[in-house]
Chain A
Amino acid sequence: MQMPKPNAEILARKAEIVARLRQVLPASAVIDDPFETKAYECDALSAYRCPPLAVVLPASTEETAAVLQACHSMGVPVVPRGSGTSLAGGALPTEDSVILGVARLTQVLETDYKNRFITVQAGRTNLSVTGAVETNGFFYAPDPSSQLACAIAGNIAMNSGGAHCLKYGVTTNNLLGVKMVTMGGEIIEIGGAHLDAAGYDLLGLICGSEGQLGVVTEATLRILAKPEGARPVLIGFDSNEVAGACVADIIRAGVLPVAIEFMDRPVIRAAEKFTHAGYPDVEALLIIEVEGSEAEIAEQLGKITKIARRHNPVELRESQSAEESANIWKGRKAAFGAMGQINDYMCLDGTIPVSKLPETLRGITALSKQYGLDVGNVFHAGDGNMHPLILYDANKPGDLEKCEDMGADILKLCVEVGGCLTGEHGVGVEKRELMHSQFGTDDLDIQMAVKDVFDPKWLLNPAKVFPLDASEGRRQ
């Protein structure tokens, strides 16, 4: 992966730039000590690292505006950062950039149960949004596995999803409004407590724009009443195809669970070893969760298990208690961590049409043989969002490159069968160069024209999302 060469002229002006930042922000909000800026050298795509020129941590929208205005006038690139859990390198700095972290913006500004929304500062973590409303019987639906750490700002930038988005949608479907600052330092408010836009849907455009159109400082989020209860069923099959067919039949029958998660044998084994969740040693495991009152849960699970039995499952375990439910989810939630115990891994995130599941899994197996690297599959089966985990050895020269090549081939396969490169993690730097395989020149050009409108000088997170050759003329 290439990053553009840092601008030598900016590097030479470091002292002057930092001094200017200290003029507009309190001293403690500007970090330029190389030992401290090192903490910001990467996000969760930790194979790539580069300490920034400086880090700023504004404590308000106004401070954010002041610092953006200053960087804009000095021509210094800015990389917004939430909690740094991006798996795509979205928050990866360049040497000549200033990291703008929203970690100090964590307040709840308003909760309104009558109108079912909460307004928070954007640095607040995903889980603590639900934390702020759950005693009143509400929750914030999008639930990325990283929800303990990741910030709403990052969720909005990446349009993050979660295990329960089959029913509740992803971030963009639960976002009502934002306050954000453009690279030029202008504060704008989009949306609010009412639904839908008067004119163009700028909110929909901002969500998923990977920190390239503005720095989000506040967000108004839809909160929902908690269901009476939820219960998963665990179903094991001796073939991926049959598991896939079972998912298709369930959806076809008109039952819409809140989650349908899929794990294959390598992941099941790793998760079992790591968590002792009691998973059977099978080829494919489904965790299907439904919600409602006890009677409603029974009604839905009745239908689901009846369909599943037609596919001769090796194991079918309906949770009977809160403890069993937690156990069933435990292994799935720890799956990435468990794979990480075995090896270094790279987590892919392509989406495919659900009907192409068996074909895609066969393709992935073939690529795994061809490259000689093992793969585990764990994903949201209801919506086709795959998460192949490619295992490699970071200490072995050439292994990372091999892994990246194989990852690229898997993602191209996802596109070929009618899907896309990324379902929820974003493009960042990781999939930037692959954008050519999903989009034509005009498709990319019009997206870049949108950035031209919000950030004409291309100073905000400029080296992300678009292939470097495509964005080169604009980044100059």
Chain B
Amino acid sequence: MTPTSEAELGEMIASAKAPFEIIGGGTRQIGSTEGAPLHTSGLSGIRLYEPEALTLVAQAGTPLAEIESLLAENNQRLPFEPYDLRALQGTTGTPTIGGVVATNASGPRRIQAGACRDSLIGVRFVDGLGRIIKNGGRVMKNVTGYDLVKLLAGSHGTLGVLTEVSFKLLPAPQATATVLVQEAAATSAATMAKAMASPYDVSGAAHVGGVTALRVEGLEGSVAYRGKALASLLGGEVGLFDWVAQRDVQAFAGREGDVWRISVKPSDGPTTAEALRKLGAQDVVFDWAGGLLWMLAPKGTILRPAITAGHATLIRGEGQTFQPEPAPIATLSAALRQKFDPRALLNPKRMG
């Protein structure tokens, strides 16, 4: 099914007798679900773009590429650097903005500019009863009522079918520089912590293949200054680094095995990776100053026992996709889901 308006979608869900699998571009689904395919591609188009107000409103089925190219023409961008995991996951669809929001897809800039949930300022969605709901809006500062915007971000289509999403934007930087430090993973967390504790406004801090990479962005003069300052602080050099490859975890694309995305306290990054290696993990890409680990492990390897604080999501592979949560949180989450989708129609098996 491919509804072409919010109202049509609302009626479809209100009268539904059986569950739906909600599909944007079909490029970011993780975990299992069941139900009749419900495509959001009929709800497409940019509704409003005000560059001088740094705001954009788009229908949920709008291709991400359409939004990114419009913003690029205007020297602006989505702050949170959404990743594209098609190569990693072997999918071929067209990523939509609704899928980005539903998975809270956030790249290296998360440590500086926040996650998708931080740039998202408004949503419209259809809940499991077929009701059309709005929350937030198109302004950057808004505390009117509860913040369901954050709740919907990363809810993987289980609380409602997103129909429209609004963002605050950032100017695209005039210049970018990356400082590279050749070192082992074990020392990288300390290097990244040092960079993050500097006043140089680091917008990316990664470690992959024996190289720690630190990014600064902004006006020409400022970037030149900060790049140099950071290089001398860390004993590194300004050099080239592929931040798109980093964002999309291209290092693991085409390689056999499960892929995990693990969020931990940054200083725990290297020790967690070591512990996971002992459990069988083969390779790691660090991001978020050590706080994000992408792990490649042989199919079926059990990694979660090594993660004491934080959480692990199985991005590619068979198994329990989402980290089980402590009982009180799990109870609240289940109760919320019941309120938003009492008939369990929306992506029923996904997220626990």
Contact = CB atoms under 8 A, between A and B. Distances in A.
A194 B309 contact: yes
A420 to B, nearest CB: 5
B103 to A, nearest CB: 11
A426 B196 CA distance: 33
A354 B52 contact: yes
Interface in B319-334: 322-323, 325-326, 328-330, 332-333
A459 to B, nearest CB: 17
Interface stretch (B90-98, B240-248, B261-269, B277-285): B261-269
A447 B133 CA distance: 10
Nearest to A193: B265
A165 B141 contact: yes
Contact of B141 (A203, A228, A293, A384): A384
A299 B219 contact: yes
Interface stretch (A69-77, A338-346, A449-457): A449-457
Interface stretch (B59-67, B143-151, B250-258): B143-151
Given A228-B199, A296-B225, A446-B131, A195 B143 contact: no
A358 interface: no
Interface string A153-176: 000001101000100011011000
Nearest to B324: A198
B53 interface: yes
B201 to A, nearest CB: 8
A453 B159 CA distance: 14
Nearest to B197: A225
Given A435-B145, A446-B340, A450-B339, A351 B51 contact: no
Contacts of B144: 420-422, 427, 431, 435, 438-439
A35 interface: no
A296 to B, nearest CB: 4
Contacts of A12: none
Contact of A443 (B54, B133, B329): B133
Contacts of B218: 296
Interface in A180-204: 186, 188-190, 192-204
Nearest to A136: B197
Interface residues of B, number: 90
A207 to B, nearest CB: 7
Contact of B198 (A225, A420, A450): A225
Contacts of B153: 201, 204
A208 B221 contact: no
A191 to B, nearest CB: 10
Interface string B120-161: 000000010001111101111111111111110111000100
A433 to B, nearest CB: 13
Contact of B145 (A194, A198, A419, A447): A447
A24 interface: no
B263 A204 contact: no
A188 B328 contact: yes
Contact of B329 (A137, A190, A422): A190
A451 B146 CA distance: 9
B197 A137 contact: yes
B141 A161 contact: yes
A401 to B, nearest CB: 23
List 10 tightest A-B contacts by C-beta distance, closest first.
A204-B150, A198-B311, A254-B171, A423-B141, A248-B52, A193-B265, A198-B323, A194-B310, A383-B140, A449-B339
15 contacts: A113-B197, A194-B310, A195-B111, A198-B322, A201-B117, A201-B150, A205-B151, A296-B222, A300-B219, A352-B139, A353-B139, A385-B141, A418-B137, A442-B131, A450-B339
